[in-house]
Each structure stands twice: as C-alpha cells, then as structure tokens.
Structure 1
C-alpha cells in the first residue's frame, strides 16, 4: 500500500530507491472507484546496476613513512616547556595587575586574536563576570562613558561569551532620529570596534 502511494505521489523523485539506480515502468495502472474508495495498482521493475564510485586518483606522497617518522620536533625540548609555563604564569599575573576595565578587555581581546585564550579560560571568565556584574555600578561602568571603542569592545566580548547585553548600550552615540552622531565619524578605532561588534 505504501509503495503504491509512493509511486503515485507527484512530489516524490523516482530516480533512486535505497541507493540503487531504478527504472520504473507502470505496466499496469488501474484505477477503479467503488463507493468512494480508490484502488491503485502498479508494477515496478527495479534494475540493479552496479554502483560506480568516482576515483580521486591521489598521487603517492613524496615522503615515505620512515622519513616522516624520523623528523624531530624542535619544540619538544624540556627547556621550552618550562619557558611556556613561565610565560603562561606571567600572563595570568597580568590579569591580577590590570585594574582598568578597558585594559582588561583589551588583554582578553589580544589573547583571543593570538589564539591563546584557551590557556586562560578561567581568568577570562572571571574578568567578564566581574565586568558584567558591575554594569549597573556607575563608577566602574564601561557603558556610561562616551568611548565608542570601549563600549563596542565590551559589547562584543560579552556577547561572544554568551552574556545577555542589550544593543541599547549604543544609544549614547545616537541622536534623536536614531542616526549615529556626527562626532563619532572621526573615531576610527571606535568605528572599527563597532563594525566588529556588529
């Protein structure tokens, strides 16, 4: 019954069925109407063709496996690992030393751009949580200033880290008609930051 509905469905493409190329012939199609019932009969001939897979024809590699295994990594040295840990510790201490919210945001932004933010996820989360909780505090609020760069940077970083921040924070930079004020046209850094935030 379901196969008959499948064959007579006008929207079903009859080119493939279960991954096999098929050819359909409606040898017998009989429709009879008896007391508001429709009976549909059809025969389907399925021809199994071999599935032809495309060959990519990849070239053999120039280097054999022994050569690749013989390569050494210059960055596996123990002294480099110590240097790596030392640099991570210094950057972690920078999070504690930097007190200005804008400087904290710039540090987070630099770490993200360098691809190093995954080393400092806890510090970044703690800093952004503190910034987000102090939004209502007028003394430390980054939103209440007339710095488009700081507002857009904070907006972008908080939104990237799944904090709910309203786009109404940019209302300080708009006139009564909703257009941006003319004085921000000279703020190139602020406009670029706004563009990235958008």
Structure 2
C-alpha cells in the first residue's frame, strides 16, 4: 500500500486521463460545425419515385476509442480495499482545517484542497472555515492574499465587493505599475479576475493589467512559477476541469515547502479511487452504446462516446454523482446523433416526419419515419422512460413530464429545421 501511494503521480493508474492527453484532444477538436463534403447518392425510403435522394456527408472520422480498449481499463484501487485508509487521511485533513489559525493560511489550505481535487469531501468544514475568515475582519494588505480571498469567497458564493482592490490603485484609479514586480500576487489577481460579474469593470481592468505583466515576466521567473503562469494564461483556473487539474497540481504541490504529506497521499488515493468509478461507468456506457447500434444503423453520425463522457465529467466529477454523469453522457450521445441527422443527413420531408414523431411521443410513431431514424427515436424514448423510472425509484417524484414537454414542444428540432431552410 505504501508503495502505491508513494509513487509519483506520473505512474498513477490513469488510463482515462493519460489516454486523453495523447489520443482524445485531436478528435475532440472536430466536434464543432460539420465539415460538409460533396454530396453522395443514397436511395431514400421516402422517395416517391425511383430517383435517388442526394444526401450530404460530413466525413466524420471513426472513434479511436474501441469498446475493447475501454473494457481493458483496469485499476488495483477500490473503495472496498482502500476505503479505511481514505477515511483516515480525510480525518487528518479535517484536523488541519480545524487548527489552522490565520486567514491567509486558511485560504491557502482551502485553495490546495480544491486544486488537489479533494475539497468535495469537506464542504461543511470549508464553509465553517470561510465563516471564520469573514468574521475575523482581518485586514489583508498584500495583493496575493486579497486576490486569493476574493476568488475563494466568490467560488463559494460569499458576497465580496471589488472594493477590496481599491488599495492597489493609484491616484488615476488605475492599478499601480509597481505591483508588476510581485509575480505571485499578479498571478493571483489574474485568477481572481475571472470571477468578476457583469458590470464589474474593475475586474476586466484587473484581467488586462495582470495578463500584461504576466506575459512580460515570463522570461524572468523560476521554472516552476513560469510554468504556472504560462498554464494560467492558456487556461485560467476557473476554466479547468477539476480532475485534470488535480492530476497536474499534485505534481506542483509536492514541491511546495509548506505542503502536507497527508494531503498529498489523500489526493493520490482519491484520484485513483475516483478514476476506478469513471472506468466502471465507461465500461457500462460502452456496452449501452454498442447495444443501441448507432454505429451500424446511423453510420453518418459521430461516434463520440468518450468525448461526451469527458464533457459530462467536466460538469459533474464527484464519484457519488455517477447517475447524473452517465445519464448526461447518454443524453448528449443521442442529441449528437439527432444533430447530425438534422444538420447533415436527413432530407426536409424526413425531418418533418421525425419532428412529428417526437411531438407525438409514442412508439407507434416509428412506422411513419424512415428506418435509419427509428434507432434514434427508440433510443430517445427509452432514455426518457428509464430516467423516469430511476427518478421514481430514487426520489419518489416524477419530473420527466418537463423533459417530454420540452422535447414535444419541438424547440430544438424546430431550430435544426430553420437552419436547413436558410
């Protein structure tokens, strides 16, 4: 066990994330508007004559994530085996939160917990710690801590005014140029600027000011800080996916002089345990996707199960929200196929029939739509019905009416249709 936890983060059991870094992002970049190529000739079921129907193709590349590859994802980590150690490490982290004294140290510890990907274990404790920071009314004078406090409090929904940055402005109401020598403070200000709200011009000024100084300082900083600056300029903290940030930050946190060994071990163990949950979800989703048969029945559409799962994981990463993550993935996969059908492949008469079938919301409507649309229509009905059963079982309530009402209103489908007519 000690050997597993002492390993470098580079050697984590990270099949999903490591594969994403090498294989995923190239195909993912093509998830934008379809690249339509010259028309191909396919006979339409709806054709009233023997004349072939002209159809378009977006020439989508096949998925690099074969079912066999997804099934091969394995890890030695499980909550059954490592759960006790996880709880022990969580208690040590709670103890750190309870005994930290000054506001600056509290904010730094909370920031570390968030970036290490383990803060979801300590929601109540973090709220209590932030309440103490606010009630202490401690005056913070340095740019780094002020910016960190602003960002952390905004992230957790606490009200904090942009007036806290007034002390860093000169007589011209602009940020003082002398702040540019404080690289850590400027970086903290840059990250905080992305928590500004509409109408807060000072945060836009802070963003421009800090970005200018960070770019100018890149060649003068030590290697670790320069890497952090470069990464933030490319993708600010506010825009990063929690799980990938956790993997990256573990590397950086280990080098901090003030790092806690218990937090490093907790972050590594939690990362691997959560990844085991993702791998199980992916295996189940791959089987579901294969059973739908879209690859054979709707070969014109995108096969992007993994990319859709990563997207869902970026929205809800917590392991206890597995059902939300998998259902969101399923919905986006079906919606992607519908989008390709409307944007690229279907003819206007066919799409009118499909829209009518969705408005009817009954399996008997399948007899009125083309065969290639049947798989998609059936998958949509099946998904909503299964979701309805899950909600009745878990919550005793049924809100699926609103999903059906939204689909039956045809808002999304009408938008696709209008795009075709342009």
Q: Name the TM-score, length of structure 1 as normaliser.
A: 0.61
Between the aligned partners of 2:156 and 2:84, the Cα distance in structure 1 is 30
Aligned residues: 142
The 5 Å alignment of 1:145-184 reads: 145-184=140-179
Cα distance in 2 between the residues matched to 1:64 and 1:166:
50
Q: 2:192 aligns with which of 168, 175, 197?
A: 197
* Gap change, CA 1:110 and 1:56, over 3 Å in 2: same
Instruction: Compute the displacement of 1:79 (Å).
Output: 4.7
Match status 1:61 vs 2:58? no
Please say which of residues 77-86 and 95-104 is displaced more in the overlay.
77-86
* Structure 1: 5+ residue stretches without partners: 1-46
Tell me how far apart the structure 2 counterparts of residues 194 and 168 of structure 1 sit (CA, whole Å): 14
> Residues 183 and 72 (structure 1 numbering): CA distance in 2 closer, same or farther, change over 3 Å?
closer
Whether the aligned pair in 2 keeps the contact of 1:152 and 1:190 (CA below 8 Å) is yes
Greater percentage in helix = 2
5+ unaligned residues in a row in structure 2: which ranges?
1-46, 194-422
Q: Which residue of 2 aligns with 1:43?
A: none
- Pairing of 1:113-128 with structure 2 (within 5 A): 113-128=115-130
Bigger radius of gyration: 1
Stretches (4+) displaced over 4 A? 52-60
The residue number in structure 1 matching 2:103 is 101
Question: 1 or 2 for the larger relative contact order (CA 8 Å, sep ≥6)?
Answer: 2
Provide closer, same or farther for how the CA distance between residues 152 and 73 of structure 1 changes in structure 2, counting only shifts above 3 A: same
Secondary structure of 2:189's match?
helix
Aligned counterparts of 2:79 and 2:152: Cα–Cα separation in 1 = 35
Query: What is the CA deviation profile of residues 42-80 of structure 1, one whole-angstrom value per residue up to 9, with x for unaligned ones?
Result: xxxxx98x9x89797957936299xx39x7641127452
- Label 1:77 to 1:165 Cα distance change in 2 as closer, same or farther (>3 A): closer
The 2-side partners of 1:105 and 1:175 are apart by 27
